[in-house]
Amino acid sequence: MSDAGSAYWQRVEEIFHRALDIPDDARAAFLGEYCGGDADLEREVREILNGYEAQDRLDSAHAPESMEGSRYGAFEIVRKIGEGGMGAVYLARRHGDFEQRAAIKLINGTPAAAALMAARFHQERQILAGLEHPNIARLLDGGVTGQGQPYLAMEYVEGVRLDQYSESRSLSIPQRLDLFRKICAAVHFAHQRLVIHRDLKPGNILVTDQGEPKLLDFGIAKVLAEPGSAPPGTLTMTSNLLLTPQYASPEQIQGLSCTVASDVYSLGVIFYELLTGKGPYSATASTPAELIAAVVTREAERPSVVAPERLKAPLRGDLDSIAMKALAKQPDERYGSVDQFSEDIRRHLEGLPVIAVEGTRLYVARKFLRRHRVGVATAAFILLLLVAGLAGTLWQARVADQQRILAEQRFSDARKLANYLLFPLYDAVQALPGSLPVRAGMASQSLLYLDRLAVAKGQDRGLSFELAEGYLRLGEILEAPLGGGDSLGNASKALESDRKALAILETLGQVNPAEPRVLENLAKADFLLGPTLNFLGKPSEGVARLSEAVRIFDRLSSADPGNVNRQVDAGRAYVALMDVIGSPGGGLTEQGTKDRVLAAANKAYQHFDAALALAPTDSRALLGLARAYNLAGTLQIAADPRLGMATIRKGLDALSKLPPAARNAPQTEIDEARMETIIAFAQAQLGQDTEALHTLERPREVYEKLAEVDPKNGTNTRRRMSLYRTLAMIQLNLGNKREALGDYRKVIELASGLIALDPSKASNFVISAEAQGRAAKLLAADGKMDEARQYAKASIDTLERIADRPDAAAQNLSEAAIVLMVTPIQSLRDYPRALQYARRADQLSGGKEPGAVIYLAQAYANNGDAAKALETVRRGLAFVAPAAPGQKPSEVRKTLEDELRDIQILIKTGHLPPGFNQ
Contact 200, 112 (CB under 8 A): no
Q: Residue 335: is it exposed, middle or buried by C-beta count within 10 angstroms (0-12/13-18/19+)?
A: buried
Nearer residue to other proteins within complex by CB, 13 or 401 = 13
Nearer residue to other proteins within complex by CB, 157 or 293 = 293
Told to check if 114 binds other proteins by CB under 8 A, we report: yes
HEC sequence for 460-490: CHHHHHHHHHHHHHHHHHHCCCCCCCCCCCC
Told to check if 143 binds other proteins by CB under 8 A, we report: no
Told to check if 39 binds other proteins by CB under 8 A, we report: no
Nearer residue to other proteins within complex by CB, 239 or 772 = 239
Candidates 177, 196, 224, 242: give the one binding other proteins (CB under 8 A).
242
Residue whose C-alpha is closest to residue 567's, from 600, 516, 607? 607
Q: How far is the CB of 9 from other proteins (least distance, A)?
A: 6
Contact 100, 94 (CB under 8 A): yes
- Element counts in the chain: helices (H) and strands (E): 43, 9
Q: What is the rounded distance in angstroms from the CA atom of residue 598 to the CA atom of residue 582?
A: 9
- Among positions 434-463, residues that touch other proteins (CB under 8 A) are 434
Query: Which of these ranges, 286-294, 659-667, 839-847, 864-872, lies near other proteins under the rule CB under 8 A?
Result: 286-294
Q: How far is the CB of 419 from other proteins (least distance, A)?
A: 20
Candidates 31, 35, 49, 453: give the one binding other proteins (CB under 8 A).
49
Candidates 51, 96, 886, 910: give the one binding other proteins (CB under 8 A).
51
Told to check if 148 binds other proteins by CB under 8 A, we report: yes
Candidates 26, 29, 111, 805: give the one binding other proteins (CB under 8 A).
111
Told to check if 910 binds other proteins by CB under 8 A, we report: no
Q: In DSSP terms, which residues pair with 528 in a beta bridge?
A: none
Nearer residue to other proteins within complex by CB, 16 or 420 = 16
Q: What is the rounded distance in angstroms from the CA atom of residue 812 to the CA atom of residue 803?
A: 5
Q: In DSSP terms, which residues pair with 91 in a beta bridge?
A: 79, 103
Query: Which of these ranges, 282-290, 330-338, 419-427, 643-651, lies near other proteins under the rule CB under 8 A?
Result: 282-290
Q: How far is CA 795 from CA 8, 302, 404, 767, 815, in A?
A: 75, 40, 58, 10, 11
Q: How far is the CB of 34 from other proteins (least distance, A)?
A: 16
Told to check if 660 binds other proteins by CB under 8 A, we report: no
Query: Which of these ranges, 48-56, 367-375, 612-620, 835-843, lies near other proteins under the rule CB under 8 A?
Result: 48-56
Residue whose C-alpha is closest to residue 28's, from 14, 43, 12? 43
Nearer residue to other proteins within complex by CB, 58 or 406 = 58
Candidates 143, 203, 211, 233: give the one binding other proteins (CB under 8 A).
233
Nearer residue to other proteins within complex by CB, 219 or 288 = 288
| Number of residues forming the site for other proteins (CB under 8 A) | 53
- Among positions 344-383, residues that touch other proteins (CB under 8 A) are 376, 380, 383
Going residue by residue from 4 to 33, which x/- string records binding to other proteins, judged by CB under 8 A? x----x---x--xx--x-------x-----
Q: What is the rounded distance in angstroms from the CA atom of residue 105 to the CA atom of residue 143?
A: 11
Contact 842, 853 (CB under 8 A): yes
Told to check if 872 binds other proteins by CB under 8 A, we report: no
Candidates 66, 126, 147, 510: give the one binding other proteins (CB under 8 A).
147
Using DSSP, state whether 651 is helix, strand or coil.
helix
Residue whose C-alpha is closest to residue 359's, from 323, 407, 395? 323
Told to check if 149 binds other proteins by CB under 8 A, we report: yes
Q: How far is the CB of 436 from other proteins (least distance, A)?
A: 14
Alpha helices in 1-102 (DSSP H): 7-21, 24-34, 39-61
Using DSSP, state whether 32 is helix, strand or coil.
helix
Nearer residue to other proteins within complex by CB, 29 or 352 = 29
What is the DSSP track for 193-238? TT---S---GGGEEE-TTS-EEE-STTHHHHH--TTTSPTT---HH
Told to check if 891 binds other proteins by CB under 8 A, we report: no
Query: Which of these ranges, 59-67, 672-680, 751-759, 825-833, lies near other proteins under the rule CB under 8 A?
Result: 59-67
Q: Phi and psi for 210 in degrees, rounded to 5?
A: -80, 5
Candidates 103, 131, 157, 235: give the one binding other proteins (CB under 8 A).
235
Told to check if 52 binds other proteins by CB under 8 A, we report: yes
Nearer residue to other proteins within complex by CB, 40 or 891 = 40
Q: What is the rounded distance in angstroms from the CA atom of residue 217 to the CA atom of residue 103?
A: 11
Q: Are strands 150-155 and 139-144 parallel, antiparallel or unpaired?
A: antiparallel
Q: How far is the CB of 11 from other proteins (least distance, A)?
A: 12
Contact 568, 624 (CB under 8 A): yes
Q: What is the rounded distance in angstroms from the CA atom of residue 803 to the CA atom of residue 808?
A: 5
Residue whose C-alpha is closest to residue 714's, from 427, 486, 473? 486
Contact 730, 689 (CB under 8 A): yes
HEC sequence for 779-794: HHHCCCHHHHHHHHHH
Q: What is the rounded distance in angstroms from the CA atom of residue 622 to the CA atom of residue 628?
A: 10
Nearer residue to other proteins within complex by CB, 32 or 458 = 32
Using DSSP, state whether 148 is helix, strand or coil.
coil
Told to check if 389 binds other proteins by CB under 8 A, we report: yes
CB burial of 767-799 (b: ≥16 within 10 Å; e: otherwise) equals bbbbbbbbbbbbbbeeeeeeebbbbbbbbbebb
Nearer residue to other proteins within complex by CB, 88 or 766 = 88
Candidates 406, 432, 559, 639: give the one binding other proteins (CB under 8 A).
432
Query: Which of these ranges, 109-117, 456-464, 581-589, 814-822, lies near other proteins under the rule CB under 8 A?
Result: 109-117
Q: What is the rounded distance in angstroms from the CA atom of residue 727 to the CA atom of residue 732?
A: 9
Q: How far is the CB of 22 from other proteins (least distance, A)?
A: 14
Query: Which of these ranges, 227-235, 320-328, 536-544, 800-808, lies near other proteins under the rule CB under 8 A?
Result: 227-235
Q: How far is the CB of 1 from other proteins (least distance, A)?
A: 6
Query: Which of these ranges, 105-113, 515-523, 770-778, 828-836, lies near other proteins under the rule CB under 8 A?
Result: 105-113
Nearer residue to other proteins within complex by CB, 269 or 383 = 383
Query: Which of these ranges, 102-110, 273-281, 683-691, 692-700, lies near other proteins under the rule CB under 8 A?
Result: 102-110
Query: Which of these ranges, 108-116, 300-308, 365-373, 473-481, lies near other proteins under the rule CB under 8 A?
Result: 108-116
Told to check if 108 binds other proteins by CB under 8 A, we report: yes
Candidates 33, 38, 53, 167: give the one binding other proteins (CB under 8 A).
53
Q: How far is the CB of 385 from other proteins (least distance, A)?
A: 11
Told to check if 234 binds other proteins by CB under 8 A, we report: yes
Nearer residue to other proteins within complex by CB, 289 or 447 = 289
Q: What is the rounded distance in angstroms from the CA atom of residue 8 to the CA atom of residue 566?
A: 72
Strand order of the β-sheet with 160-161 is: 160-161, 205-207, 213-215
Nearer residue to other proteins within complex by CB, 202 or 530 = 202
Which residues sit at the interface with other proteins, rule CB under 8 A? 1-4, 9, 13, 16-17, 20, 28, 47-55, 58-59, 62, 64, 83, 87-88, 108-111, 114, 147-149, 233-235, 239, 242-243, 286-290, 376, 380, 383-384, 387, 389, 432, 434
